[in-house]
Structure 1
Amino acid sequence: MNIYSFEGYIFDLDGTLLDSMGLWNDIYVKVLGEFNIKAPKDYLFNVNHMSLDDGAEYTVKTFHLENVVKKDDIVDMWNAMSKEEYENTVQLKPGARGFLQSLKNRGKLLGVATALSDELFVPCLKRLGISELFSATTSIDEVSRGKEFPDIYLRECKKMGTKPQNTVVFEDSLTGIKSASVGGFKTVGVYDPSAAEQAEEIKNRADLYISSFSEMLYEK
């Protein structure tokens, strides 16, 4: 697959462009600790690939916290802990900046489809100096279903003014790769340690798989 042959390029953020999944693991562990609960490994894996609202609902139900805390309170705790990190600390993954710029230099349309809220990702992209590279962005809050459905990618594609068959989606999660494929997009799986256990299946499902964006800088 010639990676530069597409008109549009849609990027997930956490675990794909941003080196931020470790941050979320720490936050999930700390919040559960407030209720004297130790976070199981499967919980961290599952909640990492949900929207904040879905993840909070999953948390409340999984640990039977219905009479202890509300879903919205869980979301508020997560947002409060992560806001400062996105504003000041979270960095791009290796090679990401160079690859984005190489696409922009070729006149490609770039977009974002993320489970993060605008409040978290907009300041982060501005601080990193890449917000102007994207012609459009879409948060999971703008669609009624999560990333297990292609809605977010289709909405972002429409904003960008491209067609799915001329657009490629970059994702670190198996869920995202599957749903983007269902939506008619070509897909690129991006390695992240948080999804290491699914790396082989992601490789098999995606049209292309990369360990780092640095690999893309050598493509012609």
Structure 2
Amino acid sequence: MDKRFCIFDMDGTLVDSMPIWKSLGKDYLEARGHHPTQAQLAAMGPMTMLEGAAFLMDTFGIEGPPERIIGEMHEVMDEHYRTDIPLKPGIRDYLEELSKRGVRMCVATATAEPLARACLERLGVAGYFDFILSCETVGKGKTQPDVYLEAARRMGSTPAETAVFEDALYAARTAKEAGFYTVGIPEEAYAQDWPALSALADETILDWRKAL
């Protein structure tokens, strides 16, 4: 595909933050005396922060409102995004090359926009993107196509001419079913899904450093 419009996931695709995200819900619950099962943790994976907070309230009786829970989690992640989460190796050169070609790019992420922006600005790559769009802004997680469709609308593109870069199988499947060209990115946190993701995707990038 001659990429003219690109939508990038952030966590696990642009930046190496998935180990921290994967443990956030578990760490939050255990700090409050709860011991979630693997099934409960897996259920939280595709959720937005708001959906996850509601899940914690309903499943574990965590005191609300959801905004308070989200605020507490944001404090933990904010520190990581501002200080120590790194870029995936090779991604800066890949974005630079697309920028030189005049490709329009944006970020569509389940992470709150202020946190995503803080991270990408610290890492010096925020300027490559026209905008950062959070699932929280559109009110739907990536099990539904709203965030991709809104991102394409803002860029003035159609799904068929827009590439979506994703490391999560469920998100890539959502984009694919909505008509987007999908690019699968391997992520250790989703290693068990890689065979299915690589089969689903229109293209895979195993290493950003060798993608150009």
TM-score range, shorter chain: over 0.9
Match for 2:205 among 206, 210, 214?
210
Pairing 1:136–2:137 present = no
Deviation at 1:80, TM superposition (A): 0.9
Structure 2 SS opposite 1:32: helix
Provide closer, same or farther for how the CA distance between residues 214 and 49 of structure 1 changes in structure 2, counting only shifts above 3 A. farther
Number of the residue aligned with 1:24: 21
Match for 2:101 among 81, 102, 106?
106
Structure 1 stretches of at least 4 aligned residues deviating more than 6 Å after TM superposition: none
Counterpart amino acid of 1:23?
I
Distance in 2 of aligned mates of 1:127 and 1:81 = 17
Number of the residue aligned with 1:11: 8
Distance in 2 of aligned mates of 1:58 and 1:207 = 34
Number of the residue aligned with 1:171: 166
Distance in 1 of aligned mates of 2:33 and 2:126 = 39
Structure 1 SS opposite 2:13: coil
Match for 2:30 among 30, 33, 57?
33
Distance in 2 of aligned mates of 1:212 and 1:23 = 21
Contact 1:7-1:108 at 8 Å conserved across structures:
yes
Distance in 2 of aligned mates of 1:38 and 1:208 = 39
Distance in 1 of aligned mates of 2:190 and 2:64 = 29
Distance in 2 of aligned mates of 1:197 and 1:38 = 24
Structure 1 SS opposite 2:144: coil
Contact 2:18-2:189 at 8 Å conserved across structures:
yes
Deviation at 1:156, TM superposition (A): 0.7
Provide closer, same or farther for how the CA distance between residues 44 and 214 of structure 1 changes in structure 2, counting only shifts above 3 A. farther
Q: Which runs of 5+ in 1 are unaligned?
A: none
Contact 1:24-1:48 at 8 Å conserved across structures:
no
Deviation at 1:48, TM superposition (A): 2.9
Counterpart amino acid of 2:206?
S
User: Which TM-score applies when normalising by structure 2?
Assistant: 0.93
Distance in 2 of aligned mates of 1:58 and 1:194 = 22
Distance in 2 of aligned mates of 1:116 and 1:8 = 21
Contact 1:21-1:48 at 8 Å conserved across structures:
no
